[in-house]
């Protein structure tokens, strides 16, 4: 709720009316800042988790590639040996 303070210099002269807020704007700003910080934290942890998952998938793909190369080399070696 806003409080009003009225100041009169002289009758019929300048009247100054000051409005003082209750601090609700500051409270809303603090809550909004907190929400932004919490959202940023969850966003950063999600990205870290995604990067770890991507690295694990890339490692598994490299392992499969290496195994396929070994099988291919073994097949080539087997085909080059003279048959008896």
Model confidence over 21-48: pLDDT tens digits? 677 888 899 999 999 999 988 888 887 7
Distance between CA atoms of residues 7 and 24, nearest Å: 25
Structural domain including 55 reads 40-67
> Taking the model in full, what pTM does it have?
0.42
Question: Nearest 5 degrees, angle CA 18-CA 23-CA 28?
Answer: 135
Write down the pLDDT at residue 5: 65
Say if CB 7 and CB 18 are below 8 A apart: yes
Q: Would you say residue 4 lies in a domain?
A: no
Top pLDDT among 41 and 8 is at 41
Q: Would you say residue 29 lies in a domain?
A: no
Query: For the chain, what is the domain count?
Result: 1
Q: Would you say residue 46 lies in a domain?
A: yes
Distance between CA atoms of residues 44 and 34, nearest Å: 15
Q: Would you say residue 24 lies in a domain?
A: no
Q: Would you say residue 61 lies in a domain?
A: yes
Q: Would you say residue 34 lies in a domain?
A: no
Q: Would you say residue 47 lies in a domain?
A: yes
As to burial, measured by CB atoms within 10 angstroms (0-12 exposed, 13-18 middle, 19+ buried), residue 50 is exposed
Q: Would you say residue 16 lies in a domain?
A: no
């Amino acid at each position: 709720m806003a409080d009003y303070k009225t100041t009169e210099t002289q009758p019929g002269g300048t009247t100054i009316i000051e409005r003082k807020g209750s601090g609700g704007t500051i409270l809303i700003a603090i809550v909004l800042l907190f929400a932004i910080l919490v959202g940023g934290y969850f966003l950063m942890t999600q990205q870290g988790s995604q990067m770890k998952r991507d690295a694990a998938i890339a490692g598994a793909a490299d392992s499969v590639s290496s195994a396929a190369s070994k099988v291919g080399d073994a097949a080539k070696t087997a085909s080059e040996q003279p048959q008896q």
